[in-house]
Structure 1
Amino acid sequence: MLCSSFSISRLAIPAVCTLIAFLAYTSQYFFLYFDEAPLRGEELWRINIFASCIWICYYRSCTVDPGRIPKGWAPPDRKQVEADEASGRQRWCRRCEAFKPPRAHHCKTCRRCIPKMDHHCPWTSNCVSHFTFPHFVRFLFYAVIGMGYLETRLFERVSIIWSSRHLPSYLGPSAAQIGHLFILFVVNSLTVFALSILLVRTLWTLGSNTTTIESWEIERHETLIRRARHFGGFLPGPGGIQVQIKKQEFPYDIGIWSNIKAGMGGSANVISWFWPLARTPDRSTGLEYEENGFEDPSISWPPPDPDRIPLPSRDQLNSAAFASAPTSNIEIEAFNRRKEEDLRRRRNPTEIGRRKPFHVRFDEPEDNSSEQSSGASDDGSVGGEEAWKNSEGERLRDFGVDEEVEFYDEEDIPLAILMQQRAQRQAAH
């Protein structure tokens, strides 16, 4: 199955190139020999200019490196890292064995952490990221504009044939021409419709300075807030702890104009936004992003999620400061049952100090009788965050994210890294 998926993905770029060539060039061939409305000069140069822009932007979307995290990069604020780890935010990638900057995610296809990863696009076989997003936007823009123009030219020829449908067949185009026009019109109409929806969605994320992944996280956060309202603002986490869920504002929405500038490489030159040969954003960027300041500086994105928090230690399980006190007999019984289950797993040598990997628990859901579980999906099933889907039925793996690293990566930062950081701080002082 993996080999089959890999083979199909290798055919994506040739398929897109074939589609572009078919629409751009066979349409001109048809217009050239269509006697009722032959190819005009303005149509010739407009179609070819649009086609050239599409080719350039698509090539750059496919070939520009989506970026990588510099070797040895570390968050400047160690206290922020400790706060993030306490709330379940993952700042250490065990796949890359390195820290992840804000908004970065590990792509399971590119096999590395990608700065400001939006999604891994199967049609470009490349990640849409901080560095490739401007090229991707331009590709969609010129594809929609170019095929929209072609749609008007095709519709004109379709109208001519339809208006003369009662004339003898020898006075009109041949059956081959009619079939060619029909295929061109249907394929172009479906393609421009699909790409228009994608362009509108992409422009929306550009104007709000969100990525597709962050839109998923925002919806997930809103879902947790709705669930927490029924339980006094808390949801149960691992070991029976109660995690407080508060409304958290998205920190990177800094105003429409600033959002667009940030998404298009930081340039305020509107002409460069549409220029197919515009330069790729500077490689020194992509590690830090301007924030709107609506939240406390010590609070980072994404918001706390009970499904991301590692199992607490035995001392933490018994600490009243770490877990809120149950208020009823039913809650006490559920709390004790969860705590005993966690302690039992800790005594098992094969499961010391951690839950089962998410994919194991997804295939074999653990017994959880509590209806308050934050991992329960809206249909009542239990499986943790990896089982949660947004309103469009998408999981993070559908955007190319390596879920096994993104969630439940409960390994601590290696001691060697911590010692190296301490030595660096001492040298700085």
Structure 2
Amino acid sequence: MSLSQLFVPSVYVLIAFLGYPSQWLLLQLEPAPLTKNELIAANVLLACIFITYTKTVFVDPGQIPKKKDDAEEYGPSNADGKEKKAIQSRKWCRKCEAPKPPRAHHCKECKRCIPKMDHHCPWTANCVSHTTFPHFIRFLFYASSGLGFLFYLLYLRISFLWENRGLPAYLGPSKFQIAHLVVAAIANTITLFALFVLFVRNIWCLAVNTTTIEGWEIERHRTLLRRARHFGGFLQTPDGTRVRIEKQEFPYDIGIWANIVQGMGTWNPIAWFNPFHPTPSLSTGLSFPTNDFNSPNLTWPPPDPDRSYRRQTVKPSSDPSEAFTYNDSSLSASDHLAAFQQRQQEDEFRRRKPFVQRLEEQVARDRVEQFIDNVPGDAHDLDEDDDSAGFGSEEEEEEEEGYTGGGSQSGEEGWRNSEGERLKDFGVDEDIEFYDEKDDDVPLGELMARKRQQVHDAMRA
């Protein structure tokens, strides 16, 4: 049993500990026991916490249908029946061997693509996605409210004890009650702070209609724009192709009210707080309306040259001595095949080195060529060339911070945002998600269907 399997039971234990023994304790302490209304409010909040957390844990985060016809089984794509302009994704998941709808990502823990994936939460052992986000935000709301209410009740008792600390000890609570009060206050304060910060952040994400992964993508896009400014607006792919990097606005922010309605799955504000409200339909998470700030031909996330992988070509050889063999007697025939396919997939692409490392290597090569060609210039000129070839010292330090702690095996996929987060911190399969700009793995039928869709959209326009 791994440690992560204990997270969900530990959360249930924490809820029960802060919920039930604390009520007994508050009934014993001065200045007065809990009133009837306080007991009712506490237990209603506690029930809502249990219900919403259970739904967050056990509701299916969704699975992408592999065929378009399968999506019809999940209900209508828009609850109001109105046709809205939406971005058509051109992403292909190499593990699921299926197209990925917009805002979907491949979860490493769930081992499938999740619609509108926010992150994989270890404390719920589930993905926060299009279907589970309403339950997750309700859980954060009721947990923050319940912990805040408990904090208020504990504060009244602790402040009363402090004001009367000069009285004889036999007039106060027992040692066990004091120890219980201290432990409950510490546990409640820490949990309240963590959940309230998480609640505020998710409210912001709900209002602007972004997920935590998309927040990472927005910051990544800003970094690419900053890099491209130093290279005439272009960046290179692994095969040397120059790609123009242009600013794109986040397309799914369609207004605060519409964002909240989409995220909560209903326009009824009362239903937003209903712990028994049904889960949103999966079909509503396969396409999303956009704000039309960008051209309809653009996709999100924006083009990223570093996300194109370069296939390694190996020349065939007829010499048996050059053949690679692998044998593990503990594996069955099917396991041998699965292991071989995994190694084959890992060898198909090469991770790109971090941008700063590639920049330093390019500068070093330029300096060597300069000396070989006997180009005049002193050390001061070379320093100026370093700055003109890429970043100045301040911006280079800013880039280097983006790879701190990435590890020696990390390539450009180890890029971190300003909060120190990389893609794998959200639970996604980093190799599958980052290196997904190539169409090499997309079946011919899918490519033809995309072409027909483009022609159809052009004719309608």
The two structures have a TM-score, normalised by structure 1, of 0.79
Equivalent residue, structure 2, for 1:195: 195
In structure 2, relative to structure 1, the CA distance for the partners of 1:349 and 1:306 (3 Å cut) is: farther
Q: 1:299-338 residue pairs with structure 2 within 5 A?
A: 299-311=298-310
Out of 21, 30, 49, the position equivalent to 1:26 is: 21
For the residues of structure 1 that align with 2:353 and 2:232, how far apart are their CA atoms?
28
Equivalent residue, structure 1, for 2:211: 211
Out of 400, 409, 416, the position equivalent to 1:379 is: 400
Equivalent residue, structure 1, for 2:417: 390
For the residues of structure 1 that align with 2:65 and 2:344, how far apart are their CA atoms?
33
Contact 2:59 2:132 in 1 (8 A): yes
Contact 2:66 2:99 in 1 (8 A): no
Equivalent residue, structure 1, for 2:260: 260
For the residues of structure 1 that align with 2:99 and 2:34, how far apart are their CA atoms?
57
1:33: how far off? 2.1
For the residues of structure 1 that align with 2:150 and 2:350, how far apart are their CA atoms?
48
For the residues of structure 2 that align with 1:304 and 1:373, how far apart are their CA atoms?
20
Root-mean-square deviation (CA, aligned residues, Å) is: 3.3
Equivalent residue, structure 2, for 1:72: 67
Contact 2:351 2:412 in 1 (8 A): no
Contact 2:352 2:411 in 1 (8 A): no
In structure 2, relative to structure 1, the CA distance for the partners of 1:65 and 1:152 (3 Å cut) is: same
Equivalent residue, structure 1, for 2:3: 8
Aligned identity (percent) is 53
Equivalent residue, structure 2, for 1:247: 247
For the residues of structure 2 that align with 1:353 and 1:93, how far apart are their CA atoms?
13
Equivalent residue, structure 1, for 2:99: 99
For the residues of structure 2 that align with 1:165 and 1:204, how far apart are their CA atoms?
43
1:357: how far off? 3.9
Counterpart AA for 1:8: L
Counterpart AA for 2:4: S
1:239: how far off? 2.2
For the residues of structure 2 that align with 1:418 and 1:234, how far apart are their CA atoms?
27
For the residues of structure 2 that align with 1:359 and 1:56, how far apart are their CA atoms?
44
Contact 2:306 2:412 in 1 (8 A): yes
For the residues of structure 2 that align with 1:198 and 1:222, how far apart are their CA atoms?
24
Counterpart AA for 1:10: Q
Out of 44, 49, 66, the position equivalent to 1:54 is: 49
> In the comparison of the two structures, how many residue pairs are matched?
374
Determine whether 1:370 maps to 2:362: yes
For the residues of structure 1 that align with 2:221 and 2:316, how far apart are their CA atoms?
35
In structure 2, relative to structure 1, the CA distance for the partners of 1:169 and 1:106 (3 Å cut) is: same
For the residues of structure 1 that align with 2:256 and 2:217, how far apart are their CA atoms?
20
For the residues of structure 2 that align with 1:423 and 1:141, how far apart are their CA atoms?
46
Secondary structure in structure 2 of the residue aligned to 1:130: coil
For the residues of structure 1 that align with 2:263 and 2:95, how far apart are their CA atoms?
27
For the residues of structure 2 that align with 1:123 and 1:61, how far apart are their CA atoms?
10
Contact 1:357 1:404 in 2 (8 A): no
In structure 2, relative to structure 1, the CA distance for the partners of 1:310 and 1:95 (3 Å cut) is: same
Greater Cα shift, 411-420 or 30-39: 411-420
Equivalent residue, structure 1, for 2:136: 136
Secondary structure in structure 1 of the residue aligned to 2:361: coil
For the residues of structure 1 that align with 2:314 and 2:39, how far apart are their CA atoms?
75
For the residues of structure 2 that align with 1:72 and 1:193, how far apart are their CA atoms?
44
Equivalent residue, structure 1, for 2:432: 405
1:421: how far off? 8.6
1:62: how far off? 0.5
For the residues of structure 2 that align with 1:394 and 1:103, how far apart are their CA atoms?
18
Secondary structure in structure 2 of the residue aligned to 1:22: helix
Contact 1:236 1:306 in 2 (8 A): yes
1:166: how far off? 1.0
1:414: how far off? 2.7
Contact 1:104 1:113 in 2 (8 A): yes
Determine whether 1:281 maps to 2:280: yes
Equivalent residue, structure 1, for 2:120: 120
Gaps of 5+ in 1: 1-5, 77-82, 312-341
Counterpart AA for 2:139: F
1:367: how far off? 10
In structure 2, relative to structure 1, the CA distance for the partners of 1:14 and 1:353 (3 Å cut) is: closer
Equivalent residue, structure 2, for 1:170: 170
Contact 2:63 2:115 in 1 (8 A): yes
1:183: how far off? 0.7
Contact 1:346 1:353 in 2 (8 A): no
| 1:206-245 residue CA offsets vs partner (Å, 9 max, x unmatched) | 0000011000000000111111112211122212222211
1:355: how far off? 8.0
For the residues of structure 2 that align with 1:147 and 1:60, how far apart are their CA atoms?
19
Counterpart AA for 1:288: S
Equivalent residue, structure 2, for 1:44: 39
Contact 1:235 1:373 in 2 (8 A): no
The two structures have a TM-score, normalised by structure 2, of 0.74
Equivalent residue, structure 1, for 2:82: none
1:174: how far off? 0.9
In structure 2, relative to structure 1, the CA distance for the partners of 1:33 and 1:263 (3 Å cut) is: same
| 1:26-53 residue CA offsets vs partner (Å, 9 max, x unmatched) | 1101012225422221221111010011
For the residues of structure 1 that align with 2:64 and 2:258, how far apart are their CA atoms?
24
Secondary structure in structure 1 of the residue aligned to 2:284: coil
1:356: how far off? 6.1
Greater Cα shift, 64-73 or 267-276: 64-73
In structure 2, relative to structure 1, the CA distance for the partners of 1:112 and 1:92 (3 Å cut) is: same
Secondary structure in structure 2 of the residue aligned to 1:221: helix
Secondary structure in structure 2 of the residue aligned to 1:117: coil
Secondary structure in structure 2 of the residue aligned to 1:284: helix
Contact 2:230 2:390 in 1 (8 A): no
Contact 2:231 2:390 in 1 (8 A): no
Counterpart AA for 1:390: N
In structure 2, relative to structure 1, the CA distance for the partners of 1:244 and 1:352 (3 Å cut) is: farther
1:268: how far off? 1.0
